[in-house]
Structure 1
Amino acid sequence: MEFDWIIVGAGSAGSVLANRLTADGRTTVAVIEAGKPDNSVLIKMPMGLMWLMGGKRWNYGFRSSPQEHLDKREVPVPRGKALGGSSSINGMIYIRGHRTDFDAWATMGCPGWSYDDVLPYFRKSEVNGRLGGDGYHGDDGELHVSDNRDPHRLNERFFGAGDMLQIPRNPDFNGAHQEGLGMYQTTTHEGKRWSTADAFLRPAMNRPNLTVLTGRQVRRVIVEDKRAKGVETDQGKLTARAGVILAAGAIASPQLLQLSGIGDPARLSQLGIDLVYGNPAVGDNLHDHPNVMLMRKIKSSESYGLSLVGIPRAALAAFNYFYRNRGMFASNVVEAGGFARTIPGIPAPDVQFHFVPFHRSTVPGRIYAWGHGYALHVCVLRPTSRGRVDAVSRDPAVAPRIDPNMMATEYDRETLLRGTRLARRIMESPTFAEVNGEELLPGEQAQSDEDLMAFIRERCGTVYHPVGTCRMGSDAEAVVEPHRLTVNGLNGLHVVDASVMPQIVSGNTNAATIMIAEKVAEAIMAEARMSRAA
């Protein structure tokens, strides 16, 4: 089986690449996905994400190594295992990041990645139901970005609390300004999840020059004479004439490089892997948004929840969803949120909120609890702690060691502490006073900085945004160069996914990953056209 390009991973980046590289009708592409087709009702139904995050059918369900600064706890690291990848199990929130994020990339040795450089690629993908056609948003792309059809009324209490704390309302977090509170737009269409498989991969699957292979595990990239020649899978080998693109994400892409002999020579030697190209930075620079969740009960049945009122209400909502694609089950649950500064005068917001009008269990890993309430997540937008991903076996099916080294720096700890106090002030605002019941997390007893830091160590996790493990840059230690994201020291091997981000974006990472794939696909096809012309 021979193709021009082999793409490993049919997720957020891989689906975009497959669509763009086959659009000319001449370039043959194989996409290899270890997971299954995305044909579950839980994937299509936005509220299904609550079950997808904890399950194993559509989710690798990785866990980190014990975290030194989080009471030696392991934290969940969910990653999508289906067509669409993590875009098939994520919270669907469409956030690009702050302008300064991309300008910082450009100053970190990544020319061509400033905000002005990348904005056209964000717009290219997007078809925005409310904002499309302005200077920031597209109206003729493939990726549907939509407003919530039936927002919960508790969101208005959240916005009112922001008003009282001088946090402005913001109708567009991806426009001129990021700061403020508002409704999140989501990658949904007519009440259903709109993953990258829906937007990019499925429309291209009728092209004769695209082959999509599911249920295949890539074991390694075949490299000969410093050039990628194909891949070895658990069902045989595939050959690539032009090259191989790893789009397997910030956990699997560095693992596959290491299994292919590309990485830290000492670590590879311990696994008995022959060295192809030595670069200790492969797997390094892992980071994510550290996050804690505050929770309160409410005295009414106003929120989503399980109760004598809530159960029949949910039954009616199910009928409403399956017949009209509206109501509670069309909600991504994390309907509203925003961005704020915990220190006045800093250049950009340093924390993000996710507001959840749903009563969850306080027991980690459990979804439901009896009653009604709401939660407010707060995360650090630009963490400074860094960790690693390392293969621990020559078998790619064995999960790698994932050590984000969370909350290792004073900056991360202090920022999350300030964010927790600000979140608590929002939840104690007079706009919530008439409905507020008991504070479940962190609990009324936690008042001092020491108490709140103990709560953070006990409860801190991530927002499931791992990045950085195949960092792009112009320096010798970068894993990929910044133009076409070619692996340094090799030819015909690229990494195109969230792992190339030198620094995490200020917000949910899915939109930026799609943008990265758009930009690199254009560069690859431009080079191919020049080659043919020559």
Structure 2
Amino acid sequence: MRPVPQSSSETFDYIVIGAGSAGCIVAARLAESGTARILLIEAGGADRHPFIAMPAAFTYAMSMRRFDWGYVSEPEPGLNGRRIDCPRGRVLGGSSSINAMAFVRGQPADFDGWAAAGLPEWSYAQCLPYFKKLESFSGGENEFRGGSGPLHVLQPRYSTPLNALFLEACREAGHRISDDTNGARQDGFGPMDQTIHEGIRESAARAYLRRARGGNLAIRKHAHVTRILFADRRAVGVEYRQAGRLHEARASAEVILCAGAIGSPQILMLSGIGPGAELSRLGIPVVRNSPEVGRNLQDHVDISCKHFTHGPVTMTSLLKWHRKPAVFLQWAALRSGGGETNHFEVAGYIRSDGTSGRPDIQICFIPMLVGSQGEVISGAHGFQATIMGLRPYSRGELRLKSPDPLQPPALTFNYLSDARDIRPLSDGIRRYREIVTAPALAGITGAELAPGPEVVSDSDLEAFVRATGKSTHHPCGTCRMGSDERSVVDSSGRVRGVAGLRVVDASIMPTICSGNINAPTMMIAEKLVDRIKAEQHEAHQLAAVAQ
């Protein structure tokens, strides 16, 4: 039997579930009116912690359970049965408070593809103004970049000469050198923009919530939403657990779900919106049979190539235990040194087959040798790069294990289940090897640590990809936006078949973007909160006319 709420219900105009990259934007923008009453509910706690603020410490923040939901996939057949970590932020700022701070918009063709699939208002031309609106770019405002938005985006100053040498090697290998891969075109190698400002992580919470003024925005931390409440198929509020008690809050206008690609479909299903037969088997009353909730799960896979170097020319020594206190103290006192960067300062976007077509891989250079959790893997100097497939064909799904809202769902990404996802990664290794053997790096590049010089054939490269491939932590697509009736939400994020409920986060992406997805997620939030405001204004006008 479900516990009875132990506190009286409060009423707001809007309830926003999840204070992540999207939720912070939605709540802060709605609160700008000064009149609408907003409740923002976050399962995690405050984001004031040095491991969140210090850019180089992101691997620590990502691995701390107080900030991370700790999701792990089911055994993945395409990755040799390995279970893959899926870190998601459980803290103010959500994943923008624990991610690697890479700011990548993707390709114009990503959004034009959404438009061609029946969502004309999501073309690149209609998304670009919102990319510009959200950012203050350190390189200055222009036709493609914003200069006065809440989020500071930094084009990095290279922390080591090795970055410039890598870029020169890219040029020598025949690749385009770009001043701005978030500008007119993505292809080429250049600086990798960072969500860092004055040596501190610029999360959605820091950029948006700390700018919010007035008493019309209430924030509930350590509050776990258990379900959305309905009356006659209209969302009227939420139920949540906080401090061991069950509470209710009511929404007179809308409930806006911003819990991310894992949390949003889970909450929908717990609330009775999802595959009807599955919900019934779990004893959850069906409000709306929506079979695609939890389906269409997408993510990027990356692999790492690693080389030793001749001489101490990399940043690897910063990882030694006796160096870390000095790095932290310099950052804490001056916001400078090895702690002020994520060390992902150069990236490129190319065709893996060597042609000049639309880029299908990202190569991100890292001037040190580290493991996936930022740990030292060798006492020797070295560098590495991650190679990420940009547009995977493989699709997975998320299912409820239990009607208990405190139990995590089952995640099956089906990584590399579509054979077309292998070739870009295998060929990407070949392209990277061409770069590191170019003249600019010839006197620096040492022995190849991974995959290893013996890994050359297609079959050997595929075996390496399947044995070492990992998530790039970009889950999306589980509440697909579309114009067809099977889609979970429409082009405005409204959940089909019910009223008063909207989803605004990465879960509504029809297809994954060609790059890290935090920037597109924030763009989605800026665009849809404008739509919410417009609909609210129209409703008020109609009400005034009716009177």
Partners of 2:433 and 2:106 in 1: how far apart? 24
Give the SS at the match of 1:135. coil
Residue 512 (str. 1) matches residue 523 (str. 2): no
Aligned residue type for 1:512: P
Paired residues of 1:61 and 1:79 also in contact (CA < 8 A): yes
Report the equivalent of 2:334.
Answer: 324
TM-score by length of 1: 0.96
State the shift of 1:410 in Å: 2.0
Residue 143 (str. 1) matches residue 151 (str. 2): yes
State the shift of 1:533 in Å: 2.2
State the shift of 1:396 in Å: 2.1
1:263-305 CA distances to partner (integer Å, 9 max, x unpaired)?
1112112211111100110011001111111111223222122
Residue 357 (str. 1) matches residue 357 (str. 2): no
Partners of 2:27 and 2:395 in 1: how far apart? 31
1:139-190 CA distances to partner (integer Å, 9 max, x unpaired)?
1110001122452221122112211111111111111111111111111111
Paired residues of 1:145 and 1:186 also in contact (CA < 8 A): yes
Report the equivalent of 1:210.
Answer: 217
Alignment of 1:23-172 (within 5 A): 23-130=32-139, 132-172=140-180
Paired residues of 1:149 and 1:327 also in contact (CA < 8 A): no
Give the SS at the match of 1:286. coil
Identity of aligned residues (%): 40
State the shift of 1:315 in Å: 5.0
Gaps of 5+ in 1: none
| Deviates most, 47-56 or 275-284 | 47-56
Paired residues of 1:150 and 1:328 also in contact (CA < 8 A): no
State the shift of 1:397 in Å: 2.0
Report the equivalent of 1:486.
Answer: 494
Aligned residue type for 1:211: A
Partners of 1:271 and 1:404 in 2: how far apart? 22
Aligned residue type for 1:26: T
Residue 237 (str. 1) matches residue 245 (str. 2): no
Report the equivalent of 2:4.
Answer: none
Aligned residue type for 1:286: L
Paired residues of 2:352 and 2:425 also in contact (CA < 8 A): no
State the shift of 1:313 in Å: 5.6
Report the equivalent of 1:291.
Answer: 302
1:326-364 CA distances to partner (integer Å, 9 max, x unpaired)?
121001121211100123556410100111112214xx6
Paired residues of 1:5 and 1:240 also in contact (CA < 8 A): yes
Partners of 1:247 and 1:275 in 2: how far apart? 21
Partners of 1:126 and 1:509 in 2: how far apart? 15
1:215-270 CA distances to partner (integer Å, 9 max, x unpaired)?
01000111121110111111311111111111010011001111111111121122
Aligned residue type for 2:180: D
State the shift of 1:306 in Å: 3.7
Give the SS at the match of 1:375. strand
Report the equivalent of 1:500.
Answer: 508
Partners of 2:507 and 2:437 in 1: how far apart? 38
Report the equivalent of 2:402.
Answer: 393
Give the SS at the match of 1:112. helix
Report the equivalent of 1:15.
Answer: 24
Paired residues of 1:149 and 1:191 also in contact (CA < 8 A): no
State the shift of 1:59 in Å: 1.1
Aligned residue type for 1:108: A
Gaps of 5+ in 2: 1-9, 543-547
1:339-397 CA distances to partner (integer Å, 9 max, x unpaired)?
00123556410100111112214xx6561232321111011111111010112111222
Paired residues of 1:150 and 1:327 also in contact (CA < 8 A): no
Check 1:137–1:340 CA distance in 2 against 1; reply closer, same or farther (3 A cut): same
Aligned residue type for 2:429: T
Aligned residue type for 2:224: Q
Aligned residue type for 1:265: G
State the shift of 1:438 in Å: 2.6
Report the count of equivalent residues: 528
Aligned residue type for 2:362: Q
Partners of 1:445 and 1:254 in 2: how far apart? 44
| Deviates most, 319-328 or 455-464 | 319-328
| Deviates most, 341-350 or 436-445 | 341-350
Residue 304 (str. 1) matches residue 311 (str. 2): no
State the shift of 1:463 in Å: 1.1
Partners of 1:306 and 1:134 in 2: how far apart? 39
Check 1:153–1:274 CA distance in 2 against 1; reply closer, same or farther (3 A cut): same
Give the SS at the match of 1:104. helix
Paired residues of 2:106 and 2:513 also in contact (CA < 8 A): yes
State the shift of 1:430 in Å: 3.0
Give the SS at the match of 1:36. coil
Aligned residue type for 2:538: M
1:509-533 CA distances to partner (integer Å, 9 max, x unpaired)?
1111111011111111111112222
Q: Could you say what the CA RMSD is over the residues aligned between the two structures, in angstroms?
A: 1.6
| Deviates most, 118-127 or 430-439 | 430-439
**Which of 440, 445, 460 is the equivalent residue of 1:431?**
440
TM-score by length of 2: 0.94
Give the SS at the match of 2:32. coil
1:9-33 CA distances to partner (integer Å, 9 max, x unpaired)?
0010000001111111111110000
State the shift of 1:495 in Å: 0.5
Partners of 1:197 and 1:160 in 2: how far apart? 37
Give the SS at the match of 2:120. coil
Residue 526 (str. 1) matches residue 534 (str. 2): yes
Report the equivalent of 2:257.
Answer: 246
Report the equivalent of 2:348.
Answer: 338
Partners of 2:321 and 2:217 in 1: how far apart? 46
Give the SS at the match of 2:229. strand
Paired residues of 2:227 and 2:238 also in contact (CA < 8 A): yes
State the shift of 1:452 in Å: 1.0
Report the equivalent of 2:197.
Answer: 189
Partners of 2:320 and 2:78 in 1: how far apart? 39
Partners of 1:321 and 1:345 in 2: how far apart? 43
Partners of 1:391 and 1:6 in 2: how far apart? 24
Report the equivalent of 2:411.
Answer: 402
Partners of 2:344 and 2:78 in 1: how far apart? 27
